[in-house]
């Protein structure tokens, strides 16, 4: 597995907070006071959590992106939409497979360190991938025609939408732009059962898979656009 900062640290402020808090708790525990055992356990837990999140951002997600694209059944020549693309983790991998990729985001620095259009384009140049169309926009109002993508993918994005109504609109928009028989794949750390419930009103071709090597643990929802029944 390759170590890289190229695709940014997810939830960077949380990672820093957990590592600093964990290290502080561990240091306090080393004073030798009887009550320090609690600090040791707390410190180690926070430290391991922070380091695991750091490892996910720098190693694990580089591998996990291929799992997501395999579940999406993406093939060379497919038109792929990467929703909440960030620094291009999924978009660049799909382009390397020969897909025609469109990447959309509204570029939040809180969710991903160094997030932005320029970072994505630099990563694409560095990896020598074919052209990627980059669009500024919101998943709740996608600026695309109906049924224009063979595959729509999203990784650790939809849970960031605060309202249930907003999350429902996002999923409905991704479904709208998906072609018949195409695949929608949503990888996320929470709210995934909610996504399944929304999609169950649109198709009966839904599968899910859990992954415990990501941190936080994640679940991938895969839905194929077929008529109910």
In a domain, residue 52? The reply is: no
Residues 6+ apart with CB under 8 A from 162: none
Q: Position of tokens 């929703």? A: 83
In a domain, residue 60? The reply is: no
Q: What is the predicted pLDDT for the residue at 229?
A: 56
Distance CA 3, CA 59 (A): 5
In a domain, residue 209? The reply is: yes
Angle between helices 117-126 and 89-96 (to 10 degrees): 30
Report the DSSP beta bridge partners of residue 213.
none
SS3 sequence of 11-64: CHHHHHHHHHHHHHHHHHHCCCCCCHHHHHHHHHHHHHHHHHHHHHHHHHHHHH
What domain range includes position 75? 71-224
Supply the pTM of this predicted model.
0.88
Structure tokens at 111: 């969710």
In a domain, residue 78? The reply is: yes
Could you tell me whether strands 79-83 and 149-155 are parallel, antiparallel, or unpaired per DSSP bridges?
parallel
- The CA-to-CA distance between both ends of the chain, in Å, stands at 43
- pLDDT over 70 at 28, yes or no: no
- Residue with the bigger pLDDT between 197 and 107: it is 197
In a domain, residue 46? The reply is: no
Angle between helices 164-176 and 192-200 (to 10 degrees): 50
In a domain, residue 180? The reply is: yes
Distance CA 117, CA 108 (A): 11
Q: What is the pLDDT of residues 123-180, one digit of tens each?
A: 999 999 978 999 999 999 999 999 999 999 999 999 999 999 999 999 999 999 999 9
In a domain, residue 188? The reply is: yes
Distance CA 60, CA 62 (A): 5
- pLDDT over 90 at 36, yes or no: no
In a domain, residue 30? The reply is: no
The CATH number linked to 218 is 3.40.50.150
| Under 8 Å between Cβ of 85 and 119 | no
Structurally, how many domains does the chain consist of?
1
Give the dihedral sign, CA 78/152/221/196: negative
């Amino acid at each position: 597995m390759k170590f890289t900062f190229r695709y940014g640290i997810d939830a960077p402020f949380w990672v820093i907070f957990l590592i600093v808090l964990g290290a502080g708790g561990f240091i306090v525990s080393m004073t030798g006071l009887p009550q320090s055992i609690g600090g040791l356990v707390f410190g180690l837990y926070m430290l391991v959590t922070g380091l695991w999140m750091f490892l996910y951002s720098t190693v694990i997600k580089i591998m996990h992106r291929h799992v997501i694209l395999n579940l999406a059944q993406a093939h060379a020549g497919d038109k792929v939409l990467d929703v909440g693309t960030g620094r291009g983790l999924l978009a660049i991998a799909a382009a390397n497979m020969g897909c025609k990729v469109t990447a959309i985001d509204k570029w939040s620095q809180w969710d991903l360190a160094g997030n932005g259009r320029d970072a994505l384009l630099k990563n694409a140049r560095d990896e020598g991938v074919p052209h990627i169309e980059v669009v500024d926009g919101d998943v709740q109002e996608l600026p695309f025609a109906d049924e224009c993508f063979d595959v729509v993918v999203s990784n650790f994005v939809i849970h960031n939408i605060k309202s249930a109504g907003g999350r429902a609109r996002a999923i409905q928009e991704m479904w709208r732009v998906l072609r018949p028989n195409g695949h929608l794949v949503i990888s996320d750390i929470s709210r995934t059962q909610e996504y399944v419930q929304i999609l169950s009103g649109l198709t009966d071709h839904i599968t899910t898979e859990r992954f415990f090597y990501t941190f936080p643990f994640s679940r991938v929802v895969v839905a194929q656009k077929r008529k109910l029944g």
